Structure 1
Amino acid sequence: MPSTQPSSPLDNRHRVETPEGIDLLLRPAGLVPRALAFTVDLALRAAILLALFLGFGLLGKFGSGLSALLLFLVQWWYMVLFEVLNQGRTPGKQWLGLRVVHDDGTPVGWAASLTRNLLRFVDMLPFGYFLGALSCLAHPAFKRLGDLAAGTLVVYAERPSARPALPMVEAQRPPVELDRDAQRALLDFAERQASLSPERAQELAALLAEPLRLPAAQAVPGLLAMAQGLLRVTLKQEAFEQRHQPEWERFDARLDALERGRSAADEAMDFPAAYRRLCQQLALADARGYSSPLLEQLRRRVLRGHQQLYRQRSPLLGRLLGFVLGGFARLTREEWRGVLAASLLFYGSLLGMGVLVYAFPELAYSVLSAEQVAEMETLYDPDASRLGRFGERGSAEDWMMFGYYVMNNIGIAFQTFAGGLLLGVGSLFFLMFNGLTIGAVAGHLSEIGYHQPFWSFVIGHGAFELTAITLAGAAGLKLGAALLAPGRLRRGEALRQAAERGVRLVAGATLMLLIAAFIEAYWSSMTYGPAGVKYAVGALLWLLVALYFLFAGRNRHASG
């Protein structure tokens, strides 16, 4: 795998050493261009939401459900989808010439993009991106907290530049033998002198001409003639370029096709050999002291080739299926300590507050306002025609509530995970706050005799929703533990590994919350039929969830 080295504070470059022994230099983007790109994306998201909200507003409750889902997608997935599907570039980043990559220079993947964007919630604290800006200013590669956890980097996209042409003069050999650095300095001057003022060109030429025994008056034309001599006679760069130019053009065409996902299978199979030939040509050009513009062009090609060769290409659908069939359950079992800790915090606070409120009813008002208590009593009144909501049953009403549950519950799970970046305190807060709130509601409704409508409502979707909350909390606690007790690893590496596993737990919790939202909207709120049926269905769902986490993924080959 490629190795990386930190950015140098002097040249502000992030160095990546490829397996082929080539050093690639990435230029990290600073705080200001990143802030401008984010502002562009923020304005674009606001415009999208405004336009669609106005349209969906004409569709009544059905439109309200669409609006809730849209808000969830734009708030949490806009950046992820653009970064993964558009070579690390959101519209704002593309406009500013930026892109997101892994630390090894490869294009950002689903897990890393999701991690860095979920943890944006913490970067924005306490207001105005304060923590994120502070982290960017303190880090040599301008990384915010989300980048540190995800192992990502925002860099300037490499853009092709026109090669400067040397003036056509008669070639002349240098009077003395030049080492590689001197040759490159001479070529760099010859290729850039046209962009310099006459005075500056003469000043630099005088410095180079002294060891070459050129009179100052003839410094500029003499150096240009010697540069032509180096290229044509000594270094033979011109012949090197003519020989390999058709191959480089074919390689560029392959890169364009791969970046657009349109490359044929036979071309993709031949790509690694072509890439390694290009690496050899770059190493040869560097060893011979060829001009810097040529080396820069070859390095840009190698960087693009490196990104395509080492990027993750396994099909998303296949990976998702393998994760659902067993990978998620296996990961949960492996993280049983964190899951147990999160479960004790959440269910302990829930049951404890529920018992206390049932015994001492006035305690409910220490957690809930009087308005909230009255609202809960209305929502779970035994005479209500629809539990957990206002209004009558209808397909538009069900869809609206589904959209609300998706936006609200998955958003809470994401915040619970991201809160772990605050040394675990944020995850602790969300676990206990939700546990205390649910416990207070359960204790109060049970104490006033509304226990049957409340528990028959909760038991069905609770198997998925409550379990998902604990899993998101476990993922957040893992982040906090990596920061507080990294063990033998460096704290940054421990955080990255914890985030890599934690975001997979959150992805599984998201799937569970989607199922929970569907059950809650279309099943839990029903009031017709005996309550015993809902209890039986709920018990069956709890059993299925338990069996899944206990036995799924035992056979690694079956689960991918």
Structure 2
Amino acid sequence: MTSLPVRMGCSPQSLGCFYGARRGLPQRVGDFFLHDWPGAIRDLWRETLVSVALMFVGIGAGAWLVASDKGWFDAIIPSGLAAGRGPDASAEMLRSMLYDGDNGFLSGFAAYLFTHNVQVAILAFALGFAFAVPTVLLMLFNGCILGAMFQVYWAKGLGMELGGWLAIHGTTELFAITLAGAAGVRIGTRIAFPGELTRMTAAAHAGRVAATAMVGVSVMLLSAGLLEGIGRQTITSDVTRYAIGTGMLALWIGYFYLFQVVRNGDR
């Protein structure tokens, strides 16, 4: 019987050397979106809850600081970006910024907020190695920015309107930020409390899950940028704005936490 040729580095017993299926790029991408990414997010559910809590604490702190002393607005929001449109701005001016299409202030604020959130996402993950302390501070500060802005509009009776303007892209963008924070918290806590593992081994294990989550976070931030660029220019209905924002949030939650359950049930 003719023997099979043996490849360099393979033995006849290693049939995988001859018949092992090589997965192409489409299959790998499919595996990432169907299994790897949502699986990593589900694995980070505790850290995600912590990150969400930190964001809301920051929002409350930012709103409270500006409500107690409007000078805090300039301390939290860069003065060049605010351009005087802070607590002393009239309700008419603030309203016009929400519904008059492309305007200087909120366009600049949107661009700043998106750029800032991308930086926060990267830093929250990268600085998680410092026992998650910088990650926690970044989540709090990011919330303070939103809280400070909301307080200005809320005081003029425009809080719900600003919420709708932000909802179009904000539900995706802020969800991505919280996931990045969760990734950083996972790494930091595993290094601080490695258990029976060495700190390097614990960091490596946590880093695999966190890195997978962060690749997906970049996809979410890109989606948020597209939603912000299109929605801010063309959609002025509060109902439509909230519908889009709520729909996107439901989409992400369903994709991360419900899709796997349904798919397993179909097996």
Normalising by structure 1, report the TM-score.
0.39
Q: 1:270/1:345 Cα in 2 relative to 1: closer, same or farther (>3 Å)?
A: farther
Which of 78, 94, 99 is the aligned partner of 1:381? 94
Residues of 2 paired with 1:484 and 1:317: CA distance? 38
Residues of 2 paired with 1:442 and 1:512: CA distance? 23
Which of 474, 480, 504 is the aligned partner of 2:212? 504
Between 1:404-413 and 1:502-511, the stretch displaced more is 404-413
Give the structure 1 partner of residue 14 of structure 2.
none
Residues of 1 paired with 2:185 and 2:123: CA distance? 12
Q: 1:435/1:414 Cα in 2 relative to 1: closer, same or farther (>3 Å)?
A: same
Q: CA RMSD in A?
A: 3.5
Equivalence map 1:290-301=2 (5 Å) = none
Quick check: 2:135–2:184 contact (8 Å CA) kept in 1?
Answer: yes
SS in 1 for 2:96: coil
State the Cα deviation string for residues 290-330 of structure 1 (Å, max 9, x = none): xxxxxxxxxxxxxxxxxx99xxx633332222332343223
CA shift at 1:470, angstroms? 0.6
Quick check: 2:127–2:134 contact (8 Å CA) kept in 1?
Answer: yes
Give the structure 2 partner of residue 390 of structure 1.
104
Residues of 2 paired with 1:415 and 1:370: CA distance? 24
Quick check: 2:101–2:232 contact (8 Å CA) kept in 1?
Answer: no
Q: Which amino acid aligns with 2:94?
A: D
Residues of 1 paired with 2:144 and 2:113: CA distance? 20
CA shift at 1:416, angstroms? 1.4
Q: Which amino acid aligns with 1:512?
A: M
CA shift at 1:474, angstroms? 0.7
Which of 207, 231, 238 is the aligned partner of 1:531? 238
Give the structure 1 partner of residue 192 of structure 2.
484
SS in 1 for 2:234: coil
Give the structure 2 partner of residue 552 of structure 1.
259
Structure with the larger helix share:
2
CA shift at 1:361, angstroms? 3.7
Residues of 1 paired with 2:33 and 2:66: CA distance? 39
Equivalence map 1:139-538=2 (5 Å) = 273-276=7-10, 314-358=23-67, 360-374=69-83, 381-384=94-97, 385-386=100-101, 389-390=103-104, 409-526=117-234, 528=236, 530-538=237-245
Q: 1:376/1:521 Cα in 2 relative to 1: closer, same or farther (>3 Å)?
A: farther
Bigger radius of gyration, 1 or 2?
1
Give the structure 2 partner of residue 215 of structure 1.
none
Q: Calculate percent identity across the aligned residue pairs.
A: 24
Quick check: 1:460–1:534 contact (8 Å CA) kept in 2?
Answer: yes
CA shift at 1:503, angstroms? 0.6
Residues of 1 paired with 2:240 and 2:8: CA distance? 65
Unaligned runs of 5+ in 1: 1-268, 278-307, 394-400
SS in 2 for 1:381: helix
Quick check: 2:124–2:181 contact (8 Å CA) kept in 1?
Answer: yes
Q: Which amino acid aligns with 1:390?
A: G
Give the structure 2 partner of residue 49 of structure 1.
none
Unaligned runs of 5+ in 2: 12-16
Give the structure 2 partner of residue 540 of structure 1.
247
Residues of 2 paired with 1:405 and 1:276: CA distance? 54
SS in 2 for 1:274: coil
SS in 2 for 1:318: helix
Structure with more relative contact order (C-alpha pairs < 8 Å, separation 6 or more): 2
Residues of 1 paired with 2:195 and 2:231: CA distance? 47
Normalising by structure 2, report the TM-score.
0.77
CA shift at 1:483, angstroms? 1.5
Residues of 2 paired with 1:332 and 1:466: CA distance? 15
Quick check: 1:376–1:441 contact (8 Å CA) kept in 2?
Answer: no
State the Cα deviation string for residues 343-388 of structure 1 (Å, max 9, x = none): 111122113422453465444244234444336659x83224225x
Q: 1:452/1:343 Cα in 2 relative to 1: closer, same or farther (>3 Å)?
A: closer
Quick check: 1:405–1:517 contact (8 Å CA) kept in 2?
Answer: no
How many residue pairs end up in the alignment? 247
Residues of 2 paired with 1:418 and 1:522: CA distance? 30
Residues of 2 paired with 1:537 and 1:439: CA distance? 22
CA shift at 1:510, angstroms? 1.0
Q: Which amino acid aligns with 1:317?
A: P
SS in 2 for 1:486: coil
Give the structure 2 partner of residue 229 of structure 1.
none
Quick check: 2:128–2:187 contact (8 Å CA) kept in 1?
Answer: yes
Quick check: 1:327–1:553 contact (8 Å CA) kept in 2?
Answer: no
Between 1:417-426 and 1:359-368, the stretch displaced more is 359-368
SS in 1 for 2:95: coil
Residues of 1 paired with 2:30 and 2:227: CA distance? 22
CA shift at 1:446, angstroms? 2.0
